[in-house]
């Protein structure tokens, strides 16, 4: 027997509120979405962090974004080795089955995963270096980004730079997936990098020319 509990009452109450308002006002659309399937325009890859709501920031409603959220919005390199790869599966499904037109990787400030990566790579978090640390092994994906920041001169804010690298590394890894590269080359898909500052509400986007993040 699974040790599950009923849903907390406050969530049940809020759900009923949603059902009676948002759902009721949009039931025809939700019915179509159910019957005809989703047709999202974009995939968004963003962090699990509770402070980051891509749908709120982009005013998106049901049906618009196919959203994958993981720690530090990372995409691992292409590795078709037969293992479970949740992020790669999400990318494959979005690009080959749903044929989304955009993939947006959005990082954010004060990212706990990026902080952990920084601590680990700089030798200050031995517990994350253990083989059994899921967070540590996941953040290994960002090690190439850490090396780049470490080798850069005049870095003022290493954590922000590393958050930016998390977006760049993910975009580079995305391009290592043959079906992504092909779709980009065929003009069927565009990639976008963004970074959100939680406290100030600012949104910065990755500029292809300069390779830098600039405010929109």
Binding residues for Zn(2+): 47, 49, 108, 111
Q: Of 125, 149, 166, 189, which one interacts with its own copies (CB under 8 A)?
A: 189
Cα–Cα distances in Å, from 165 out to 31, 107, 121, 154?
A: 41, 9, 14, 16
Are 27 and 3 within 8 A, CB to CB?
no
Nearest approach, Cβ of residue 65 and its own copies (Å) = 5
Near its own copies in 1-30, by CB under 8 A:
1-30
Beta-bridged to residue 46, according to DSSP, are 69, 106
Name which of 101 and 155 has its Cβ closer to its own copies: 101
* Interaction pattern, residues 36-55, with its own copies; x per rule: CB under 8 A: xxxxxxxx----xxxxxx-x
182 binding its own copies? (CB under 8 A): no
| C-beta of residue 113 within 8 angstroms of C-beta of residue 133 | no
Number of other residues whose CB lies within 10 A of the CB of residue 175: 15
108: DSSP letter: E
Residue whose token pair is 């960002």: 142
- Residue 23, strand partner residues: none
Annotated binding site: 47, 49, 108, 111
Considering only residues 117 through 176, tell me which ones interact with its own copies, judged by CB under 8 A.
131-135, 137-141, 168, 171-172, 175
Q: With beta carbons less than 8 A apart as the criterion, state whether 173 and 103 touch.
A: no
Q: What's the min distance (Å) between Cβ of 160 and its own copies?
A: 12
| C-alpha closest to that of 106 among 64, 55, 45, 159 | 45
132 Cβ contact list (under 8 Å, min separation 6)? none
165: nearest Cα among 190, 181, 143, 184: 143
Please select the residue that binds its own copies; options are 31, 147, 155, 182, rule is CB under 8 A. 31
Q: Which is nearer to its own copies, 24 or 155 (CB)?
A: 24
Nearest distance from C-beta of residue 211 to its own copies, angstroms: 7
Name the residue nearer to its own copies (CB basis): 25 or 157. Answer: 25
Q: What's the min distance (Å) between Cβ of 21 and its own copies? A: 5
Restricted to residues 73-92, the positions that interact with its own copies (CB under 8 A) are: 74, 76, 80-92
Determine which residue in the list 123, 153, 154, 216 makes contact with its own copies, applying CB under 8 A: 216
Residue (150 or 197) nearer to its own copies, CB: 197
């Amino acid at each position: 027997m699974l040790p599950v509990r009923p849903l907390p009452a406050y969530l049940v109450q809020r759900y009923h509120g949603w059902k009676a308002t948002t759902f009721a006002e949009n039931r025809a659309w939700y019915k179509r979405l159910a019957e005809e399937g989703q047709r999202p325009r974009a995939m968004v890859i963003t962090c699990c962090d509770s402070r980051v709501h891509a749908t709120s920031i982009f005013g998106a409603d049901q049906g618009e974004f196919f959203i994958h959220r993981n720690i530090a919005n990372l995409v691992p390199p292409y590795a078709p080795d037969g293992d479970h790869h949740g992020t790669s599966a999400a990318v494959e499904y979005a690009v080959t089955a749903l044929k989304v037109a955009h993939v947006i990787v959005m990082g954010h400030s004060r990212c706990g995963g990026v902080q952990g990566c920084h601590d680990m790579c700089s030798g200050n978090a031995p517990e994350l270096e253990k083989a059994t640390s899921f967070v540590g092994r996941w953040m290994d994906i960002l090690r190439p980004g850490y090396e780049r920041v470490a080798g850069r001169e005049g870095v003022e804010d290493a954590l922000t730079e590393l958050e930016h690298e998390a977006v760049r590394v993910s975009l580079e890894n995305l391009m290592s997936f043959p079906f992504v590269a092909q779709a980009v080359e065929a003009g069927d898909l565009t990639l976008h990098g963004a970074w959100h500052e939680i406290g100030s509400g600012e949104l910065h986007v990755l500029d292809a020319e300069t390779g830098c993040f600039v405010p929109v």
